[in-house]
Structure 1
Amino acid sequence: MKFQFLYLLVFSLIVITISELIGFQSIALGAVKISILPLVFAIMITMILGLTIFRKGILKKVYSKSNIQFSNKYLLFIMLPLMARYGADVAPHIREILSIGWVFLIQEIGNLGTVLIGLPAAILIGLRREAIGATLGIGREGELAYISEKYTLDSDEGRGVLSLYIIGTLFGAIFFSIFAPLLLDVGFRVEALAMASGVGSASMMTAASSTLVARVPELESTILAYASASQLLTSFLGTFTMVFLAVPLQRFMYNLLVRGDKQ
């Protein structure tokens, strides 16, 4: 176990180094810039090398069952330093943020949209228990923690939330990097878009705020502060919204839509 973990550690450091060397890439498509974060490159490299055709020799030891179980269990610990970074960005603008704090609270209602819209759609295309994990919020750290504690990540519900987590990391950041500047061109205020970028995903928030900073560099500190505050509140208050509102609503709807398979 320890020997195989060493392979995982070395492999992770190599992938991280390569991804950081590639760095933050911005691809221009006309007036729109698509931002691709090092995190996206890291996941793509890891997924490609994890394919069966490559999983031989040392890679077979890297992707061993014991390493995969270890990664599932301790994934959340690597997310904790992000919370400290959010707090550091928020502090200089705390008075300004508190003066409009109620606006941040309203966006938490959006956490119910994934259940109201996503769950029926997931059931319609044939998902069952996987839909529970895939439609509880946007499948980020909070949802990942809840599903892993309640069902474990080896369950159908766990596979649902993990699939959404990976898809959100790969495509969510790209979507946000395109959508944020488009809304800016339509006429939305940059402060509103910065607040909206904090949906509970570090990669999506970074992609959206980075493209906004590129378009309005003179408001960089304001954009980063609003985005970080929104992200921080979403990560904190979103947990209570999920547990006390989204989960009961999802349970009720799932039992109603899928009779005979009680959640």
Structure 2
Amino acid sequence: MKNKNFIFLIIFVLVIITIAEMIGFQSIPVGSISIGLLPLVFAIVITMILGLQLFRKGFWKNVYSKANIDFAGKYLIFIMLPLMARYGADVAPQIREILQVGWVFLFQEIGNLGTVLFGLPIAILLGLRREAIGATLGIGREGELAYISEKYTLNSSEGRGVLSLYIIGTLFGTIFFSILAPVLLGVGFPVEALAMASGVGSGSMMSAASASLVAQVPDMESTILAYASASQLLTSFLGTFTMVFLAAPLQKFMYKFMVRGDA
């Protein structure tokens, strides 16, 4: 039965991926703003809808079996490792260009500590405990997901925290950036600065934000994509070290101080 359920899971994943890719990237105009939705957003929405108890009958009941859920949480790290390797492969050929980008790109890495300094106390005040560790280590993208998955597993409280933030970021993060970028452009922020801000360490968010900027200033498309890509590459590369050597130790210290008896 377990093997049968696993086969159902593989078929289900392939079908969802195919449907999401067929939908493709969608740009929805809302007044003067264009909201970008990537295939990943549609894949998560469809999967969440089909996961409702209302639909857990017959085939869907086999797909969302406890064995499959445990399997997905335990072995997601194997899907993340090739992505981390790809980041390394992307960085290595351009390491010289990255070093020449300048201190402005490096300065934005301080933002990786903001989720710990501001997010962790708020999460604890809201009643979260170990979940707060996964939810506030960073912005909950691929790097944080891989780190938490490797250290705690996604079946842990920390894993549920980072996975929840990853899903929320995918669903609402791209929409948020799609709206915020053109708004800030309208109030006078330079295009280059907004393009740099698009690279937050998430491929989907960077694509949505930069696409929105290009829609507003099409004659600067090459500049926007160049700055956004460089920022994204640098953030993915340095953000990993910032997370491991700065954010994680700081978070551990703050958590022990604020939540006595749960270290």
> What's the TM-score once normalised by structure 1's chain length?
0.90
Note the alpha carbon deviations across 1:175-234, whole angstroms, 9 max, x for none. Answer: 000011111111222221111111111111111011112122222233222222212221
Contact kept in structure 2, 1:15 and 1:46, CA below 8 Å: yes
Which residue in 2 is equivalent to 1:242? 243
Gaps of 5+ in 1: none
CA distance in structure 1 between the partners assigned to 2:238 and 2:46 by the alignment? 33
For residue 238 of structure 1, report the CA deviation from its aligned partner. 0.8
In the alignment, is the contact (CA less than 8 A) between 2:152 and 2:158 conserved in 1?
yes
User: Aligned AA for 1:71?
Assistant: A
Distance 2:219 2:77 in 1: 35
Deviations for 1:114-144, whole angstroms, at most 9, x for unmatched residues?
0111011001111111111111001111111
Distance 2:91 2:135 in 1: 30
Q: CA RMSD in A?
A: 2.4
- Which runs of 5 or more structure 2 residues have no equivalent in the other structure? none
Q: 1:72 deviation in Å? A: 2.4
Give me the whole-angstrom Cα distance separating, in 1, the residues matched to 2:25 and 2:85.
21
Counterpart position of 1:144: 145
- The 8 Å contact of residues 191 and 222 in structure 1, kept in 2 or not, is answered as yes
Instruction: Pick closer, same or farther for the CA change 1:113–1:207 going to 2, 3 Å.
Output: same
Once the 2 structures are TM-superposed, how far is the Cα of residue 65 of structure 1 from its aligned partner?
2.5
Amino acid at match of 1:36: L
Shift of 1:87: 6.8
Distance 2:164 2:63 in 1: 20
TM-score, scaled to structure 2: 0.90
The one-letter code of the counterpart of 2:225 is L
Pair 1:191 & 2:206 matched? no
Distance 1:144 1:81, change over 3 A: closer
Is the contact made by 1:209 and 1:224 (CA closer than 8 Å) also made in structure 2?
yes
Which secondary structure does the structure 2 equivalent of 1:149 belong to? helix
The separation in 1 between residues aligned to 2:132 and 2:87, in whole angstroms, is 32
Same amino acid, percent of matched pairs: 72
Q: CA deviation at 1:90?
A: 11
* Alpha-carbon distance in 2 for matches of 1:145, 1:178: 28
1:261 and 2:262 are equivalent in the alignment: yes
Contact 1:195 1:227 in 2 (8 A): yes
Report what 1:229 is aligned to: 230
SS at match of 1:138: coil
- Say if 2:191 and 2:224, in contact at 8 Å, map to a contact too: yes
Secondary structure, aligned partner of 1:53 = helix
Q: Could you say if the C-alpha distance between residues 69 and 226 of structure 1 is closer, same or farther in structure 2, counting changes exceeding 3 Å?
A: farther
Give the letter for the 1:209 counterpart. S
CA contact (8 A) 1:89 1:224 kept: no
The corresponding residue for 2:47 is 46
Give the equivalent residue in structure 1 for 2:23.
22
Task: Determine the structure 2 residue equivalent to 1:61.
Answer: 62
Task: State the partner residue of 1:217.
Answer: 218
Match of 1:126 in 2: 127
> After the TM superposition, which of the residue ranges 61-70 and 193-202 deviates more from structure 2?
61-70
Question: What number of residue pairs does the alignment pair up?
Answer: 261
CA, structure 1 residues 152+91, in 2 after alignment: closer, same or farther (shift >3 Å)? closer
Kindly indicate whether the alpha-carbon contact (under 8 Å) linking 2:137 and 2:144 is maintained by their aligned counterparts in 1. yes
Distance 1:77 1:206, change over 3 A: farther
